[in-house]
Amino acid sequence: MIPADRLCANCSVEAIAAAVPALRREIDQALADEKLSRHNVECVGKRLTAWPQLSGADSAPFYCTVGSRSLMVDAPNAYRDETGRKIIWGEERWREKAVRFTFGKPRWKWTVNGQNDAQWRE
């Protein structure tokens, strides 16, 4: 379970990378190849709408620009209520109950020069 930062897509991607060493290495290598820092990574996520407590939050999938490359990071979103209980999708008033979310096991792929990586990485 990886915590989400509902107000910062870059922060959520950083949390995912911190939890997945292979992703962290790939991002760091892409930055090193272009002599950039982590401050040069720009990410946006899927904007949640119609969620009373989470409206405007960015959730997975995330689309990031890492120098001249693009990175897509996807992970299952688990929505949680005030007590931390995982909300079952479609249960009564599920959107109203959700106050935070976490990520499950992520996967990612790169695009370089407009060419998608054929394989998802995990």
Residue by residue, pLDDT tens for the chain (122 residues) are 898 888 899 899 999 999 999 999 999 999 999 999 988 999 999 999 888 999 889 999 999 999 889 999 999 999 999 999 999 988 999 999 999 999 999 999 998 776 777 688 88
pLDDT at site 73: 96
Read off φ and ψ for residue 4, nearest 5 degrees. -100, 150
Give pLDDT, residue 113: 72
Q: How far apart are the first and last CA of the chain?
A: 15
pLDDT the model gives residue 6: 82
pLDDT at residue 46, rounded to an integer: 93
